């Protein structure tokens, strides 16, 4: 698929380029890490989340009605009961 990385958000490393954090990752498009604010919804068609489960749950709820698709790589929505969650994520 054709993919254009339009936004790189985070809560730490604000203002840094991805290659500073991961030398093998060279995007070459001038993106830097920026805070995740409400205007992100106007900049993306798909929101990819690679955050801890509680953060993914919060961001998914925050942007669910404003972004056409959200892909969450955390375990926030994988396991539906607290008992199963504790079994797989002790």
Quick: pLDDT tens for 25-59.
877 778 899 999 999 999 899 999 999 888 999 99
Q: Residue 20: pLDDT above 80?
A: yes
Instruction: Give the residue extent of every domain in the chain.
Output: 1-35, 40-88
**Confidence (pLDDT) at 74:** 87
Half-sphere exposure of 85 (CA within 13 A, CB side): 11
Quick: pLDDT tens for 53-74.
889 999 999 999 999 999 999 8
SS3 of residue 77 by DSSP: coil
The reported pTM is 0.78
Q: Cα 33 from chain centroid?
A: 12
For 8-14, what is the mean pLDDT?
91
CA-CA distances (angstroms) from residue 85 to 52, 59, 72, 80, 82? 14, 20, 17, 7, 5
């Amino acid at each position: 698929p054709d993919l254009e990385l339009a936004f790189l958000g985070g809560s730490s490393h604000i203002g840094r380029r991805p290659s500073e954090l991961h030398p093998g990752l060279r995007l070459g498009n001038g993106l830097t890490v920026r805070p995740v604010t409400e205007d992100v919804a106007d900049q993306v068609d798909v929101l990819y989340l690679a955050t801890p489960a509680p953060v993914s749950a919060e961001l998914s709820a925050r942007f669910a009605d404003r972004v056409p698709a959200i892909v969450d790589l955390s375990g926030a929505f994988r396991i539906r009961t607290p008992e199963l969650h504790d079994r797989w994520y002790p």
